[in-house]
Copies of this chain bind each other. A is one copy, B any other.
């Protein structure tokens, strides 16, 4: 037993007790005759005091060797503090040290172990084990632990069974790139790491497990973007004998419970919006609905004035900022430049300002009179309207990005406000102009809304749904196909020959002929959910050991070169 208590629990009622504590030295203040040490562990900080009158010479001498981040064990008496610190739970007491024992020394850490640290990103990634000592990061990891436990608890109470599916599975060319694993015992053959346990959870439904959950790592060998990880964690769920309504209700219940139990937030009934409306009103399939600024479709109204840009555009969309009158010319120029950056790619930004005095000012007032401008936007005094025109899909996306950016700048994306929303009725297929083929928008196992694909696959809607919170896609799922014929038809539309479909997914197609129940499910991004609940955007701060943007773990220096013997054993060669 290295300790009788942890560093977060001693209180005024413990005064007089003899205790042993162990932990890290956060800070030392040496006043000669009095020395204070802040001793830290996972549970808190306790102040130690060494008093030249009351402590032994041995104790005083050993303190001289101690520096920041040393690991020490101390014995002493709990005493009442002179100067109470109301900011910490142990702030009324301190420990008068009688014994001190250095358990391990520490070099001076490469950055300060404090929330506001002096360490840069790269350095902190290399010394991740030290970065994780910072309270902010430590609390994130503990929060994630609480979140996963509550997920498991709630779903267990709802009758879900936690079942592990394999990690060494089979590579399939559909979807993102697989990570593969050469098999030594089966030379020339490879396993793949799962992008998700999709087919296995469907097989579990065929087996009759009825309600499945697994918190599971998934792997995608994608070109990494900021805040993407090659391995990430899903809360993966599937249910039998359900329709979309059952799934949305079940998981709305889960998410509301998580917000309530983990962060004390009460979410309102989740709104629902179709994919088409989400694009039309917010220019995004994951709209942030914490604020308004819904789009107006001006494609009809704004044409025919002789303004060529509008007249030649497929679409013209706008949104209005209440009290946007206060935007200066410089502000408007800023947003104009912002949308013209290559990442957004708009050709320009039209604005209409409806002043308090009723007058209207606009970048297109050569082509429209005040009355026309007012009637076009339906704005009221004080409003500012931004307009983008062009190709419909691009226009909507560009204006959607601008809406989020304006919302951000205006402080409308309140970290303490949560708006959850189901987006439904996604298209089944997306046409890939380059490859001249359809892709599955969700995945090839998604059922069409009407259980049948119409004449035009491109206009068929999928029985798929996403959960969006504050503009982040938190989860997505679908009702699955459980009929072999329909599944074959979908593979055929996706360009699989019958042979290819059976080579890759024969086990699933065959399973559908042995009494597959109607079923559907959903998967949540756990890393993202944790971050969003804490009002943050970066998932990396919610993963204990993340990889950097090149997929490297810079702490352990991986990936790395392996021995030639190992390659020989695996029957492979570097090209």
Contacts and interface: CB of A to CB of B under 8 A. Distances in A.
Given A130-B207, A569-B177, A560 B515 contact: no
A558 to B, nearest CB: 4
Contacts of A551: 168, 183, 185-186
B3 A241 contact: yes
Contact of A149 (B152, B203, B233): B152
Interface stretch (A137-145, A335-343, A345-353, A414-422): A137-145
Given A129-B511, A167-B217, A550 B185 contact: yes
Interface string A543-562: 11101001111011111111
Given A41-B210, A185-B551, A514 B166 contact: no
Given A184-B177, A204-B132, A169 B572 contact: no
A200 interface: yes
Interface stretch (A155-163, A361-369, A432-440): A155-163
A547 B189 contact: no
Nearest to A185: B551
Interface stretch (A99-107, A302-310, A395-403, A404-412): A99-107
Give the bracket for the number of chain A residues in contact with chain B.
35 or more
B507 A188 contact: no
Instruction: Pick from A109, A242, A483, A560 the residue with the most CB of B within 10 Å.
Output: A560
Instruction: Pick from A173, A241, A563 the residue with the most CB of B within 10 Å.
Output: A241
A165 interface: yes
Instruction: Pick from A200, A217, A223, A559 the residue with the most CB of B within 10 Å.
Output: A559
A226 interface: no
Contacts of A242: 2
Interface string A167-203: 1111101000111111111111111110000011001
Interface string A507-526: 10001111111100000000
A180 B188 CA distance: 14
A40 to B, nearest CB: 7
A555 to B, nearest CB: 5
Interface of A: 1-3, 6, 22-24, 40-43, 69-71, 73, 103-107, 109, 127-130, 132-133, 138, 141-142, 144-145, 148-149, 152, 156, 161-171, 173, 177-193, 199-200, 203-204, 206-210, 217, 219, 221, 223-224, 230-231, 233, 241-243, 245-246, 482-483, 506-507, 511-518, 543-545, 547, 550-553, 555-563, 566, 568-575
Listed from nearest, the 10 A-B pairs whose CB atoms lie closest are A106-B515, A2-B241, A132-B207, A189-B559, A170-B558, A183-B559, A69-B515, A42-B210, A129-B203, A145-B161
13 contacts: A1-B245, A24-B515, A104-B517, A129-B207, A138-B209, A168-B551, A170-B558, A177-B184, A179-B181, A185-B550, A188-B574, A192-B562, A571-B575
